[in-house]
Amino acid sequence: MSLLKKEDNQIYKAILNETKRENNNIELIASENFVSEAVLEAQGSVLTNKYAEGYPKARWYNGCEYVDDVEAIAIERAKKLFGAEHVNVQPHAGTPANFAVYLAVADLLKERGYSSGRYTVLAMDLACGGHLSHGNPHNFSGRFYDIVPYGVSHTTETLDYDQIGELAKKHKPKMILAGASAYPRAIDFKKFRAIADSVGAFLFVDIAHIAGLIAAGLHQNPIEYAEFVTSTTHKTLRGPRGGFIMCRKEFAKKIDMEVFPGLQGGPLMHVIAAKAVCFKEALKPEFKKYQAQILKNCKALSQEMAILGYRIVAGGTDTHLFLVDLTKKNITGKAAATALDKTGITVNKNLIPYDTQSPFVASGIRIGTPAITTRGMEEPQMKKIARLIDKVLSDPDSQKNIQEVRKKVTSLVREFPLYKGLIRRLEK
């Protein structure tokens, strides 16, 4: 019998139910993925017991010789994977990793004679695909910094680098932030570097969503262009929930001080071990094939949705995700996501560029292919999924439709099982 089942049946049931949900549903949320059982094992290890404030060979507590090894391995693997000069793997998530960069730049500006800790940042508008930590007024970024948002072209719905350059010249930001959470096209970091240089700004790139694509050489790597690069490990990189920071050697001490003791105390050593495992997995040749299939699947799914009459934002995708504009389908993003969820198809509502709906309702949905690619699905399954989505959205109030699609979803996922061994072990 599972020890957890014996000791805490309520939590055991919740975990078992979530494991089954992940196995039985078609997961299309672009920021979610399924880790390997090796990553799960590392994250569920005894390393959770060890308090390790500080950094390898410079801890506050004794008894850190083995967790030092874990963190050093994680750092070296991340350096090799991305070609970074310095890596900090301690951030608990992507947003605190971003906060550390904001704070580091504030200190660097003070050293250069800029007295205020508050400064101007040029960052992507959340409504056009940015992230909360890129300037949302309720987030630390919008509360403590002067954010000047840039959007996308009204006609192409892609980044207009000339317009971004004009905004930079007008507002003279101290830092420019590139990266997104809902932008389907490739980002040109070389152009961002030129814009930053034109106004003497630091360039900070958030690659949380596209880290796996970059690691596989399928998207431009910002390391050679940006002073600071942050990421999470749990999206295309297919690792545990957590963040990390990469920077040039000259900023290493500053970044490390901002993470600890600036923002965090003891690092989560069990999570860092899981990060190390995911970095090793990402260094394997098959990871590149996996990332390439993510792109193929995303293009196939978006193209099939377009054939079925849906408008795809920005005309398509270069990445692991795309946005569907539902305005002409007379259904909101919220209603669409709710209806699809009833059938076992999981997406999220999402603003489209210059949306007239509130973020809580939205006019679109965001669809991503990392998780279904992890299961082994390929282009033929993308066509099936597109048709299932269309069947639901063509009549979202039809219980008959929902029941029929649920059966087809169940049939499809059975062909591509997930965590079956884990489910069997939990059920013992």
Active-site residue, 206 included: yes
Helix residue spans in 283-377 (DSSP H): 285-307, 333-341, 370-374
Q: CA-to-CA distance for 139 and 121, rounded, in angstroms?
A: 14
Choosing from 80, 241, 342, 384, which is the catalytic residue? 241
Choosing from 50, 235, 391, 408, which is the catalytic residue? 235
The DSSP string of 15-55 is HHHHHHHHHHSEE--TT-----HHHHHHHTSGGGG----EE
Nearest to 272 by CA among 52, 9, 31: 52
Choosing from 19, 232, 236, 332, which is the catalytic residue? 232
Nearest to 198 by CA among 165, 227, 231: 165
Helix, strand, coil percent content, the chain, rounded in steps of 5? 50, 15, 35
Choosing from 206, 256, 281, 355, which is the catalytic residue? 206
Q: CA-to-CA distance for 136 and 166, rounded, in angstroms?
A: 22
Active-site residue, 318 included: no
Q: CA-to-CA distance for 155 and 137, rounded, in angstroms?
A: 27
Structure tokens at 361: 């309702």
Choosing from 51, 114, 161, 419, which is the catalytic residue? 51
- The single-letter DSSP state of residue 249 is G
CA distances from 265 to 46, 92, 319 (A): 19, 10, 35
Q: CA-to-CA distance for 81 and 279, rounded, in angstroms?
A: 7
Active-site residue, 241 included: yes
Catalytic residue ranges: 51, 53, 206, 232, 235, 241
